[in-house]
Structure 1
Amino acid sequence: MERLEAVNLTLLALCWACSLSSSTLLTAIGPLASRAVGASDAIAPFAVALFLLGAALVSVPSAPLFTRCGRKAGFLVGCTFNLIAGAVGVTGCLVDSLACVFAACFLSGVSQGLAQFYRFAAMEVCAPSRKPFAVTLVLSGGVIAAFAGPSLARLRFSASDEARFKYVGSFAAVGCLGLLNAVLSGAVRFTPAASTTDTRERLLPDGDGAECTSTRESQAPPPPPPPPPLLELMLTPRCIGAMSAAAIAHSSMVMLMSPLTIVMGNDGIHEDHSTLALEIHFACMFGPGFVTGRLIQRFGPPRVALLGVGVFAAAAATMLAGSELWNFIVGMAFCGVAWNLCFSSGTVLLSSCYTPQDAPRVQGANDFVIFFLAGSGSFCSGYINAALGWSTLNYIVLGLMAVMLATVFGVSRFPSEPVTPSNAADEGDPHFPRDPSVLSQASVASNASQRMRSSYMSEAVFIPDTQVAKAAEEEEAGLRSAFNSQSDLPRV
């Protein structure tokens, strides 16, 4: 590995750790700070819900932002939001303003939504054969954040007896994490934006003569048909099943996590112990990611998702069994592992539902659905816990697992391979008309190579097989060789 590549990947892993530390920090202190400035037990979990809502809303303009401004500028915008969030949160604690505390959580959620692209940036700054390692390295930042965020939640900069002043240091830490993240992001040497030049132009020999340009124009196939409507892609059975698995898993996890510190405090458990439960929960969310990818490769997404359903049921049963400290710690640990299994399986399953050309639209819509439903679940969890109790919330999670179980069984009936430019041309699909020219055939094959890569680049916690990236490189090299051997192509 080149030194520059290693430095870039290390910096990106630290960037992700900083961003995710803000997330785990606000999850730990958001509801408590809200209650300290006057929110009821039903309203306090809104802090986490607004964080998720911010992440959901920014998923809509995030792709155009990175396309127009580049990776570095986009990430710096996210860091700025986190810096502002820290300042607003400190102000809210000092002036006793619930609106400021909620606004701080929302702004930090916007920052976290933009930070989701660090995993894609990591794969852009390394060689294709090392993309699996790049994803793994960036994921390690999540393990750091699992302990760094809750540890920062213990910061106390005031000796005042008023509860609201206890969280000034925590919100100040959010701003400091945003500033540190900006410094680290600025040090990364991102690659230029991917060229929009068609694949067939990249494969032809370069030259400065007019003959090559005219030949390209004469041999270029007609423009491709417009992409299918997004709603049509999202309503396919497998896409519905994939989004359902990820969204239900994320919503169930958030419904249990959002009011956790409130519930444990009402049961007489010290705040430091509730922070410990969250630390273990976050570690179990991100730690198994390195193993989950191998499980999905071996058994397939549906079976791994079913395993996650079983672990979710074990989590709910453990927390229904009692209100001791060990019930919360073990139950939330199970909840973290179950989220990892189900969320990973759902996103990998989603990667079989679109072509590379449709990937940005489908992935953006998928993120919006997941964060929107999770935010809605967080909003509801506060009211459910206050009105019906913690046990009812766990029973609702068990009901959601029954829905996921039916969804996964239904999805397993459908074939896993989407209609792609490569196989559509062979089968005579009307969206991808057959063209006998050498250029068209090579373009179709190159699209197949890109699809192989993109299907393994769509999820942070899925560890792809290195042989896939190597096969894609070999395929593209073969295409270049085939073009160079064609006698009818001009040599410049």
Structure 2
Amino acid sequence: AISLILIGSIGGAFLGPELIAQGERFSDSAFLGALRAAAGLFCIAAILLACLSLPKMIDDTDEHPDQAARGLREIAQNPYFLLAVLSGTVGYGVMTYIMTATPVSMHVHDGHSLTDTAEVIRAHVLAMYVPSLFSGLLITRFGEKPIITLGLIAYVITLGAALAGQQVMHYAISMILLGVGWNFMFVGGTTLLVSTYRASERFRVQGINDAAVFGTSALGSLLAGTLLSSFGWTTVVISTVPALVAVSGMLIWLKGRPAAKI
């Protein structure tokens, strides 16, 4: 279900660049027109959400009185909880960080055309969401840890391609692999997280996870431009290594270790 939900975002890979291309239809400035069109889409989404009727969720804590909510410290003692949060946080944070720096590095620093830059970003967004067609099935077949590991491997190859050169080909390869790696790490981590908490804990744990994931993503967006302008593309790429090493260490530590009962 987590994987299938992300499939809807495939449309963004086509619609986003098209808003910029058709921006002058909505304003004299293509950029301003794209923002107005995006605002219109957000209004449509808000109306759809306001009209959405969801069935009431069943709280199974009444059926399982012994499954009372635990404190956060006890939940965090489960190493698989830590792996789930770390996978989602690093996966999303590194992706946002490098993705934000890419168009600036390509177009402003390296002088590649806006068309080439847009196509690279389009390929990246497609690579983020197209794997959702099968990543959920892979998790069902092989489990979360192997898929997170594949995502981590994709990130390592991403860094290699990004450091190999700064031609359009290098950016394209690195962005495609970055998208695939994000999908595997984020979907794998999110799926794993669900198995680490009780029903009575779901809102608190998901809130903490989302704060970590999207807070890190926001921080990555803020830092990307600053580090890129101050130190360059190579420093931006290399600076992600410690985060990937942390996930690698956690996976190695949990190798062969059974999940804790909740």
For structure 1, which segment, 343-352 or 148-157, has the greater mean C-alpha deviation from structure 2 after superposition? Answer: 148-157
> What does 1:141-152 align with in structure 2 at a 5 Å threshold?
141-152=8-19
Q: Which amino acid aligns with 1:139?
A: L
Q: For residue 71 of structure 2, what is the aligned residue in structure 1?
A: 229
Query: How many Å separate the matches in 1 of 2:114 and 2:171?
Result: 13
Residue 291, structure 1, aligned to residue 155, structure 2: no
Q: Which amino acid aligns with 1:140?
A: I
**SS in structure 1 of the partner of residue 21 of structure 2:** coil
Query: How many Å separate the matches in 2 of 1:306 and 1:406?
Result: 11
Residue 259, structure 1, aligned to residue 101, structure 2: yes
Query: Percent identity over the alignment?
Result: 24
> What does 1:313-328 align with in structure 2 at a 5 Å threshold?
313-328=156-171
Number of equivalent positions: 260
Query: Aligned in 2, Cα 1:353/1:275: closer, same or farther, shift over 3 Å?
Result: same
Q: For residue 194 of structure 2, what is the aligned residue in structure 1?
A: 351
Query: How many Å separate the matches in 1 of 2:73 and 2:99?
Result: 32
Shift of 1:413: 4.6
Query: Aligned in 2, Cα 1:259/1:227: closer, same or farther, shift over 3 Å?
Result: same
Query: How many Å separate the matches in 2 of 1:300 and 1:195?
Result: 27
Q: Deviations over 1:320-351 (max 9, x none)?
A: 11111111111100000011111111112212
Shift of 1:318: 0.9
Query: Aligned in 2, Cα 1:290/1:392: closer, same or farther, shift over 3 Å?
Result: same
Q: For residue 174 of structure 1, what is the aligned residue in structure 2?
A: 38
Q: Which amino acid aligns with 2:76?
A: M
Q: For residue 339 of structure 1, what is the aligned residue in structure 2?
A: 182
Query: How many Å separate the matches in 2 of 1:309 and 1:193?
Result: 37
Q: Deviations over 1:265-286 (max 9, x none)?
A: 1211111221111111011111
Shift of 1:399: 3.4
Q: From 221, 227, 235, give the equivalent of 1:384.
A: 227
> What does 1:130-149 align with in structure 2 at a 5 Å threshold?
132=1, 136=4, 138-149=5-16
Query: How many Å separate the matches in 1 of 2:215 and 2:164?
Result: 31
Q: For residue 55 of structure 1, what is the aligned residue in structure 2?
A: none
Residue 184, structure 1, aligned to residue 184, structure 2: no
Residue 281, structure 1, aligned to residue 110, structure 2: no
Q: From 219, 237, 240, give the equivalent of 1:394.
A: 237
Aligned structure 1 segments of 4 or more residues deviating by more than 6 angstroms:
none
> What does 1:33-182 align with in structure 2 at a 5 Å threshold?
132=1, 136=4, 138-157=5-24, 165-182=29-46
Computing the radius of gyration over CA atoms, which structure comes out larger, 1 or 2?
Answer: 1
Query: Aligned in 2, Cα 1:197/1:288: closer, same or farther, shift over 3 Å?
Result: closer
**SS in structure 2 of the partner of residue 319 of structure 1:** helix
Query: How many Å separate the matches in 2 of 1:249 and 1:186?
Result: 31
Query: How many Å separate the matches in 2 of 1:198 and 1:357?
Result: 6
Query: Aligned in 2, Cα 1:192/1:303: closer, same or farther, shift over 3 Å?
Result: closer
Query: Aligned in 2, Cα 1:237/1:179: closer, same or farther, shift over 3 Å?
Result: same
Q: Which amino acid aligns with 1:256?
A: I
**SS in structure 2 of the partner of residue 354 of structure 1:** coil
Q: From 134, 153, 156, give the equivalent of 1:310.
A: 153
Higher relative contact order (CA 8 A, sep 6+): 2
> What does 1:471-486 align with in structure 2 at a 5 Å threshold?
none
Query: How many Å separate the matches in 1 of 2:158 and 2:212?
Result: 24
Query: How many Å separate the matches in 2 of 1:196 and 1:294?
Result: 28
Q: CA RMSD in A?
A: 2.5
Q: For residue 406 of structure 1, what is the aligned residue in structure 2?
A: 249
Shift of 1:234: 3.0
Q: Is the 8 A contact 2:60 2:199 kept in 1?
A: no
Query: How many Å separate the matches in 2 of 1:342 and 1:348?
Result: 10
Query: Aligned in 2, Cα 1:371/1:186: closer, same or farther, shift over 3 Å?
Result: closer
Q: Is the 8 A contact 1:255 1:377 kept in 2?
A: yes
Q: Deviations over 1:287-325 (max 9, x none)?
A: 101211122222221121111111111111112111111
Query: How many Å separate the matches in 2 of 1:394 and 1:249?
Result: 14
Query: Aligned in 2, Cα 1:195/1:394: closer, same or farther, shift over 3 Å?
Result: closer
Q: Which amino acid aligns with 2:128?
A: M
Query: Aligned in 2, Cα 1:186/1:361: closer, same or farther, shift over 3 Å?
Result: closer
Q: Which amino acid aligns with 2:79?
A: P
**SS in structure 2 of the partner of residue 153 of structure 1:** helix
Query: How many Å separate the matches in 2 of 1:282 and 1:193?
Result: 34
Query: How many Å separate the matches in 2 of 1:198 and 1:366?
Result: 22
Query: How many Å separate the matches in 1 of 2:207 and 2:34?
Result: 31
Q: Which amino acid aligns with 1:342?
A: M
Q: Is the 8 A contact 2:128 2:182 kept in 1?
A: yes
Q: Give TM-score scaled by structure 1 length.
A: 0.49
Q: Which amino acid aligns with 2:17?
A: P
Q: Which amino acid aligns with 1:155?
A: Q
Q: Which amino acid aligns with 2:103?
A: T
Query: Aligned in 2, Cα 1:272/1:235: closer, same or farther, shift over 3 Å?
Result: farther
